[in-house]
Amino acid sequence: MRVLKIGLRGDDVAQMQTALNNLGYNPGPIDGIFGPRTQQAVIRFQRDRGLTPDGIVGILTYGALGIDFTKTTAIVATNINYTYNVMEANIQELQRRYPFLEVGIAGQSILGRNLYYLKLGSGPNQVFYNASHHSLEWITTVLLMKFSENFLQAYVQNRSIRGYSIRKIWDMSSIYIMPMVNPDGIDLVLNGLQRNNPFYEQLILWNRGSTDFSKTWQANNRGVDLNHNYDASWQLSKQAELAYGISGPGPTRYSGPYPESEPESKAVADFTRAHDFQLILAYHSQGEVIYWDYQGLAGPQAQEIAKQFSNVSGYALDQTTGIASYAGYKDWFIQTYRRPGFTIEVGRGTNPLPISQFPKIYNDNEELLLLASVITT
Ligand SMILES: [Zn+2]
């Protein structure tokens, strides 16, 4: 709980405005901004209730408004199957609580689901974090959603997280977050194959005859592995497929007919081209490692940043080999922009990782996510 007065903004201001309005004191638009009209409403309310009419909402005024500000309910749940619908509802809820949050749509999936992005901060240093190129790795979506919620809350409360002033980051950087690159694939994994899916018959075929996608399916709904669909040694990825016995759409590692053939990967690439990202993080879930290079192009500065990431997360540094070393998003970013790009692999064990790993994954990555937004290159 914090004392509210003119000039502040946030979810607590919006809740206070709602309570005033319900009691017949019009605070102006309920927008989470404590402006002059809200202040006048507070003063009228305080006068009527025999409180000091100072326009400041402290413990007595809170009590008179009937608000228990000792607890705020978390929006992002971190102990459930995190489906597209849950994420969409959470994004809307975050927008209600934090009216200044910028939310956008970078494109649509094959089945028409929105590729949402959130923008945290308003500074010139643009960075981009994305998650869940691979459907079995949906726990990474929860990571970025929870990070966003905690970041927004710390911003309105003017708090630091792990010693990083969130207000300072907000003014210095703009963190673009795309929490779910592959919503259709995640829907297959978590909700199963629906009868009205336009690829119903093919998907079963591509899944080797099985209707159970919950442990196998990494691709989008056309059987393309989105993280093998970028224009970075894409031909080599294509050749490597054959060695893995892949000749067409399937659960994993099929690179598609040509680079950026899929609306999801094309939307991510277009979004990147439309911005000026100094650094990107692509989140995956396999093995607690950080991949930082692409064919020797990353350079010593990226390696230095990778070491810092390793220090704050406890993850090892590694280089991709074989089929995993081509056509990924971070590969394309490094090749195209010669700026630092990282694949962060969270967690250990077989995908999909159990959600019970979430607290450790969050703890491992929180500082990394903050640090990545303040490194200037
Ligand atoms: Zn992955």
pLDDT at 157: 83
Ligand 1 centroid from CA 54, angstroms: 55
Say how far apart CA 11 and CA 157 lie, in whole Å.
10
Angle, CA of 358, 193 and 198, to the nearest 5°:
130
Ligand 1 centroid from CA 345, angstroms: 7
Ligand 1 centroid from CA 112, angstroms: 22
Beta bridge partners of 343: 282, 291
Q: What are the residue ranges of CATH 1.10.101.10 in the chain?
A: 11-65
Ligand 1 centroid from CA 46, angstroms: 56
Ligand 1 centroid from CA 104, angstroms: 24
Q: Which amino acid type is present at position 15? A: Q
Residue in 326, 329, 362, 366 annotated catalytic: 326
The residue ranges of the chain whose pLDDT is under 50 are none
pLDDT at 72: 67
Share of the chain above pLDDT 90, in %: 82
pLDDT at 30: 82
345 classed as catalytic: yes
DSSP assignment letter at 4: B
Ligand 1 centroid from CA 214, angstroms: 15
Residue 290, SS3 per DSSP: strand
Q: What are the residue ranges of CATH 3.40.630.10 in the chain?
A: 84-184+260-371
Ligand 1 centroid from CA 134, angstroms: 5
How many beta carbons lie within 10 A of that of residue 265, not counting itself?
Answer: 28
Angle, CA of 139, 143 and 144, to the nearest 5°:
120
Long-range contacts formed by 333-337: CB under 8 A, 24+ apart: 333/272, 333/277, 333/280, 334/232, 334/293, 334/294, 334/297, 334/298, 334/302, 335/232, 335/294, 335/295, 335/297, 336/232, 337/277
pLDDT at 244: 87
pLDDT at 13: 87
pLDDT at 322: 67
- Candidates 225, 230, 358, 214; CA nearest to 285 is 358
Ligand 1 centroid from CA 173, angstroms: 27
pLDDT at 69: 60
127, 173 contact by CB (below 8 A): yes
Residue in 149, 241, 264, 345 annotated catalytic: 345
pLDDT at 243: 86
Pick 84-184+260-371's CATH classification: 3.20.20.70, 3.50.50.60, 3.70.10.10, 3.40.630.10: 3.40.630.10
In sequence order, the 6+-apart residues with CB closer than 8 A to the CB of 376 are: 125, 278
Say how far apart CA 148 and CA 76 lie, in whole Å.
9
328, 230 contact by CB (below 8 A): yes
**Domain 11-65 class in CATH:** mainly alpha
pLDDT at 86: 94
How many beta carbons lie within 10 A of that of residue 90, not counting itself?
Answer: 21
pLDDT at 324: 65
Half-sphere exposure of 249 (CA within 13 A, CB side): 16
Q: Which amino acid type is present at position 110? A: I
Ligand 1 centroid from CA 40, angstroms: 53
pTM of the model: 0.83
